[in-house]
Amino acid sequence: SAGSSAPERSARCSGRGGPGRRGAVRRGCAVRLQDGAFWQAMRAVSFVLAVLAASGKDSTHKLQEVSRAGNGSAPVPFEDLEPFGRENKAQALTEAAIKESNKMVDQIEKAEVAETKRSVFRALTRLRGAALQSFDGIAKTQESNIDTYTQNSSYRERHPVKHLASEEQDVSKWAFPTNAD
């Protein structure tokens, strides 16, 4: 405004940057405070909020009673301040935030489990592949050993066949013995 001096502070009703900033909303227009009065008012508001927090009650009547009582000195400004929000609303918001946080943590845990399963599956697949390659290598080596042995040695030369005909001397003697009856 045109009539205000430099040392004055102006507090607006917007709920931001003014005396209504610490949990209360101003009902009227703008309030002008001198430098000393500004800090006195801030101390009074802090006192009121501290008493409300200590009492555990959240009501307009309690705020007005405390603001009238003050700390024994001059009357406290902003007697018509209302508390901002209620305890049940704050509790509901807190519970909603906790639920959202829990959902986010659950999603992170699910992602971690999925990633762990994927990495274990991949590691086991690679291990299986390595084991199969190892066994394939062993089998191929064994096959080449068999081929080399077969090419270099003849089984029949080292293991001659025993024919009965060559081992028989007199067939009539052993096939039809005289004392058989």
Query: For residue 81, what pLDDT is reported?
Result: 66
Q: Which of 22, 83, 26, 20 is nearest to 55 (CA)?
A: 83
Q: What is the pLDDT of residue 10?
A: 43
Residue of 90, 108, 112, 43 lying closest to 71 (CA atoms): 43
Q: Which residues pair with 25 in a beta bridge?
A: 82
- Residue 101 placed within a domain: no
What pLDDT was estimated at residue 130?
A: 92
In a domain, 127, yes or no: no
Q: Does a structural domain hold residue 178?
A: no
Is 61 domain-assigned? yes
Q: What is the pLDDT of residue 49?
A: 73
Q: Whole domain around residue 46: which residue ranges?
A: 9-84
Q: How many separate domains does the chain show? A: 1
Residue among 11, 16, 14 at smallest CA distance from 78: 11
Confirm whether 53 is domain-assigned: yes
Residue 20 lies in a domain: yes
Tens-of-pLDDT digits for all 181 residues of the chain? 444 443 443 444 444 444 444 444 444 444 444 456 666 777 777 777 776 666 655 555 555 555 555 555 556 666 666 666 677 888 889 999 999 999 999 999 999 999 999 999 999 999 999 999 999 999 999 999 999 998 998 888 888 888 777 777 777 777 777 777 6
pLDDT of residue 2: 47
Is 138 within a domain? no
Provide the whole-model pTM.
0.33
Helix (H) or strand (E) holding 21: none
Which residues neighbour 33 within 8 Å (Cβ) at sequence distance 6 or greater? 8, 9, 11, 41, 77
Give the pLDDT score at 33: 45
